[in-house]
Structure formats: C-alpha cells, structure tokens
Amino acid sequence: MRESAPQASQSPTSTDTEEPRLNRRQAAKVRTRQKVLDAARNLFAERGYDAATIRDIAKVAGMSTGAVFANFQDKAELFETVFADEMTGLLNDVRTGAAVEGGVRERLAGALTAGYHRSLEHLPLMQAMIARSWFQPEVVDQRSRAFVKPIIEAIIEVLQGGIREGELRQDLDMPVLGRMVWDVFISNFRYAAYDGWGIEELTPHIRKQIDLILASQLSRQ
C-alpha cells in the first residue's frame, strides 16, 4: 500500500477552526426554523400544548403550515424541540443561581429560585411540559429525561460541594438525592398554577423543603 510522504505539522489556521459558512438557502432555512420555534414557544407559553395549533403557530410565524411541516414532522416534535431549548435555558439559570456565596442550602436555594424566576414568566409552558410527560411514548420520555439530566447533574454538583466542605455526609446516594430535589422543584409548580403562588411564596417554601431534605444528610462531625 502506497504511503504518503510525511509532512511537517502545522498549527491550525483560522480557516481550519472556523465554522463553515452557510449559503443563502441554508441560512434562510435556519431563519425559518427559528421563526417557527419562536412562534411555537410563545403560543405554548400563552395557551399550553393542546390549544396551540399548527395553523396558529404558522400564522404567528408569518408563514404557511407547509413551511412549518417542512421543518418539523408534527406538533409533538415541535413541542419537544421547544422543551429541549427550555431545559437548556433552565440549566443555565440553575447554574448561575447556584453560584451564590454560602453553604449548600444557600446554593441549592439560589439554583432553584433562579429556575422559578425563569419558568413563572411562562407558566402555561411549564404546565404543558409537566402534563405531556405523563402522556407520551416511551422513546419520547427517554429523550425528555435526557434533556432534564444535565439539570439534575447540576443539582448533584451543588450537593457534592456540600460534601467537600464537610456539610453533608460522605455516603449520600447522589442520584437519588439529586432526583428528589428536582422532583420537589417540579411539584411546586402546582401551587403556582392553582393557588396563584408567585416567587414571594415559592422562595421561602422551597427553602423549607431543602432544609427538610438535607436535615438527615448533615455531617455529624
């Protein structure tokens, strides 16, 4: 087999490292897809899943229903994409909120309160996400769990910081505890939806819940 002659190693140029530029057609397709996503997100946030139709989404986006279906197979796929984007934004807010000064309680409370600040602005969207999680095919549920997983991992990172600082026990079951904190966070949206709770009510409530969850996990040193 013929071998190529050895060449001197070269440092990467800007051409090597830059993302390839899109042509006009590709750029137009990206813009169209984003318009559809923005319109869908706004309508899901305003009306929830069932009341937001493809026809309405297309109208808000300023295009035909055919253009919507050219980018997404159906409303379920469109909603799943919005869900993925929302979980990415929530992850960023949780990480930012966890960067406060203080112990593990303060960092957890900061993380979850930041999540509430974000999600309460479009509560019907969060309600739709929670409701849809009970009525979707298993393969979709697995993808949804994958979108949520990084947020739970961010919560676990805060808990691990509590272990390193000697606040929490060394033998904690991190996956279980991280999931428990996430489940409590999600469950409180019921109070926002049905009892009219805002951030003023949710903040002290989640702090009390964190205290109860961590009470049996404190280091005995």
Distance CA 177, CA 150 (A): 15
The token pair that represents 221 in the structure block: 């040193």
SS (H, E, C) 176-200: HHHHHHHHHHHHCHHHHHHCCCCHH
**Residue 14: its pLDDT value, please?**
47
pLDDT-based confidence at 5, cuts 50/70/90? very low
Residues 153-180 have pLDDT tens digits of 999 999 999 999 999 999 999 999 999 9
Mean pLDDT of 19-41: 82
pLDDT of 24 reads 74
Residue 31: predicted pLDDT = 85
pLDDT (tens digit per residue) in 93-130: 999 999 999 999 999 999 999 999 999 988 988 998 99
Q: pLDDT for 131-150, tens place per residue? A: 888 888 889 889 999 999 99
- Bin 10: left if φ > 0, else alpha if -120 < ψ < 50, else beta: beta
84 CB-near residues (< 8 Å, 6+ apart): 147
pLDDT of 19 > 80? The answer is no
Could you tell me how far CA 160 lies from the centroid of its own chain?
21
CA-to-CA distance for 90 and 150, rounded, in angstroms? 10
Is residue 2 over pLDDT 60?
no
Tokens matching residue 173:
């079951």
Q: How far is CA 35 from the centre of its chain?
A: 20
Give pLDDT tens digits for 35-71.
999 999 999 988 888 899 999 999 999 999 999 999 9
* Termini Cα distance of the chain: 67
Neighbours of 181 (CB within 10 A): 23
User: How do residues 65-88 score in pLDDT, each as one tens digit?
Assistant: 999 999 999 999 999 999 999 999
| pLDDT score for 20 | 66
Give the model's pLDDT for residue 3: 38
Q: What is the pLDDT of residue 23?
A: 76
Distances (CA, A) of 173 to 18, 160, 169, 177: 43, 11, 10, 6
pLDDT at 11 over 60: no
The residue with tokens 């050219």 is 70
Write down the pLDDT at residue 173.
94
Asked whether the predicted pLDDT for residue 12 surpasses 60, the reply is no
